Amino acid sequence: MNKDDKTTEYLKKLKDIKLSESSRVRIQNNLLEYARFHGVRVAGDSRSIEQVSPLSTRRTSLFTVFKQPKVMTAAIIAIMLIAGGGTSYAAEGAVPGDFLYPIKVEVNESVKSALAIGNEAEARLQARLAEERLEEAEKLATRGELTADASADINTRLKAHADEAEERSAKAEANGDYESSATVRASLEGSFRAYADILTDLNARVSGNDGATLIANVRTYADAAATAQATATVGVSADARADIESTIKRADTLLANVEAKVARAENEVSAEAYARAEVKLAEAVSAQAEAKASFRSEMYQAAYTSVQAAIRIANEVSAMIDSMLRLQVDVDVRTDTVINSVLNVRTETEIHGDAETDTRTETRSDAAPDTESETDSSVDVEVDASADTRLDTDVVDVEAETDTSVRGGLNL
């Protein structure tokens, strides 16, 4: 490295100086507020758009200001801030039917959406909001309040989130942003599948629930996400390769987090439930190892498919664990029974050849091994075949994790 490169490298440390998260949000909110109250001027007119309303030709009236939905939202937010930010915070835990639920979905989530700038951020936000709706359904189901009405309400919102997420993923894919499209679709599918099973169990167990239609729909959305993943074809351009590589890296982080989560849950759940979560996790680790191997062999399509499988399964495990921990606190249900039935439902679905199974098989057929026995062999192959130094290290890590960390978790 020459002197100038060394200097640059040294000074680059300064790049870590960034606005703190709290300051960033505060400044952004101030700026948006400023921009809204000093609206865009109409061409050839020095007055702002609020001022050209036919109702008030010369000055801004409160009425015209409030006619704009965004200003209205801003006003509601302002009122809430004055009344106390607690309202908005308290609304976060609301479920359909609660007094604060409209604040949660109309105000809090509009704010989140306003802050999620760009296609990728919005896609991820929509996937997260979909998961939020599923959590609400779970909460209602544990109380036996997942009625037909509540299910229909959740379904409408869920579908809107799923559609928006897919639309944005498709857009990302069309733009060559494979990382976003893959991670969003795979995590959506994982959450949908996990929650479909959790809800099926609760729906049957707790009386008063009527969520069958919602559950069927959730499975349909999972299949749709799976089909979208299976039909996605990636190019072999340098950009596409870089994207797949960063998707694999993202999956590494996700896997590490989920492994840590499973490890932390060890003492909270039954030994059997824990073992089952481990098996599922090993499946994800194996798919990830496949993805790395395929990537190294320049089989990018296969790598793309496998890494999506890894993300999906990891998300499924994550949602399962979260739900198990919540259920343990919320209701008097034995979590091992819940998780057992969750996993049994899954196994049945995988064995019986319905539409869902077909899609799943298609998604995985190229590269992602599905059973425990394949896990070991595929990882062995990885290590033997390794040639590239950088990827080697990753693969060896994966192998080590399959044996040790799946039991003990990563030391995070």
Q: Which is nearer to another protein, 39 or 96 (CB)?
A: 39
CA atoms 160, 214, 223, 276: torsion sign: positive
- What's the half-sphere exposure (Cβ side, CA atoms, 13 Å) at 124? 10
What's the closest the beta carbon of residue 404 comes to another protein, in angstroms?
A: 26
Q: Check: CB of residue 251 under 8 Å from CB of residue 317.
A: no
Rg, C-alpha atoms of the chain: 24
Q: Tell which positions 110-129 bind another protein, by CB under 8 A.
A: 117-118
Q: What is the DSSP string of 269-325?
A: S-HHHHHHHHHHHHHHHHHHHHHHHHHHTT-HHHHHHHHHHHHHHHHHHHHHHHHHH
**Residue 137 CB neighbour total at 10 angstroms:** 29
In the region spanning residues 239 to 268, those forming contacts with another protein, defined by CB under 8 A, are none
Whole-angstrom Cα distance, residue 130 to residue 169?
14
Please state the φ and ψ torsions of residue 98, each to the nearest 5 degrees: -75, 155
Residue 67 interacts with another protein (CB under 8 A): yes or no: no
For 358-383, letters b (16+ CB in 10 Å) and e give: ebbeebbebbbbbeeeebeebbeebe
DSSP conformation class of 39: P
Least distance from C-beta 105 to another protein, angstroms? 21
Closest distance of CB 68 from another protein, Å = 8
Task: Name residue, tokens 């990830």.
Answer: 288
Q: Does 99 bind another protein (CB under 8 A)?
A: no
In angstroms, how far apart are the furthest CA atoms of the chain? 78
Report the nearest approach of another protein to the CB of residue 22 (Å): 6
| Interface with another protein (CB under 8 A), residue from 25, 36, 180, 191 | 36
CA 125 from centre of chain: 8
34 binds another protein (CB under 8 A): yes
77 vs 320 by CB, closer to another protein? 77
Choose which of 25, 47, 48, 300 interacts with another protein (CB under 8 A): 48
* CA distances, 332 to each of 211, 344, 346 (Å): 20, 21, 23
How near is the Cβ of 325 to another protein at its closest, in Å? 25
Residue 21: CB minimum distance to another protein, A: 6
Closest distance of CB 122 from another protein, Å = 11
CB of 8 to another protein, least distance (A): 4
- Specify the stretch interacting with another protein by CB under 8 A; choose among 20-28, 244-252, 259-267, 324-332: 20-28
Q: Which is nearer to another protein, 9 or 380 (CB)?
A: 9
What sign results for the dihedral spanned by CA atoms 126, 127, 129, 133? positive
Select 21 or 384, whichever has its Cβ closest to another protein.
21
Provide, rounded to whole angstroms, the least separation between the CB of residue 51 and another protein. Answer: 13
Q: Which CB, 16 or 332, lies closer to another protein?
A: 16
Rounded-to-integer distance, Cα 220 and Cα 349, Å: 13
Q: Does 15 bind another protein (CB under 8 A)?
A: yes
- Token representation of residue 120: 């990728």
412 binds another protein (CB under 8 A): no
CA distance 21 to 146: 37
Phi, psi of 48 (to 5 degrees): -80, 165
Measuring CA to CA, which residue among 196, 151, 212 is closest to residue 341? 196
- Other residues' Cβ atoms within 10 Å of the Cβ of residue 186: 30
Question: Which pair of tokens denotes residue 192?
Answer: 């949908």
39 forms part of the interface with another protein (CB under 8 A):
yes
| Interaction of residue 10 with another protein, rule CB under 8 A | yes
Query: Which stretch, 17-25, 228-236, 283-291, 307-315, contacts another protein (CB under 8 A)?
Result: 17-25
Q: Collect all residues with Cβ–Cβ distance below 8 Å to 30 and sequence separation of at least 6.
A: none
Among the residue ranges 32-40, 52-60, 130-138, 324-332, the one whose residues contact another protein (CB under 8 A): 32-40
- Would you count residue 58 as binding another protein (CB under 8 A)? no
Among 70, 264, 334, 407, binds another protein (CB under 8 A): 70
Which residue of 20, 57, 207, 411 would you call a contact of another protein, by CB under 8 A?
Answer: 20
CB of 103 to another protein, least distance (A): 23
> Which of 25, 27, 79, 81 is in the footprint of another protein by CB under 8 A?
27
Q: Is 387 in the site for another protein (CB under 8 A)?
A: no
Give contact residues for another protein (rule: CB under 8 A): 3-4, 6-8, 10-24, 27-28, 30-32, 34-36, 38-41, 43, 48-49, 70, 117-118
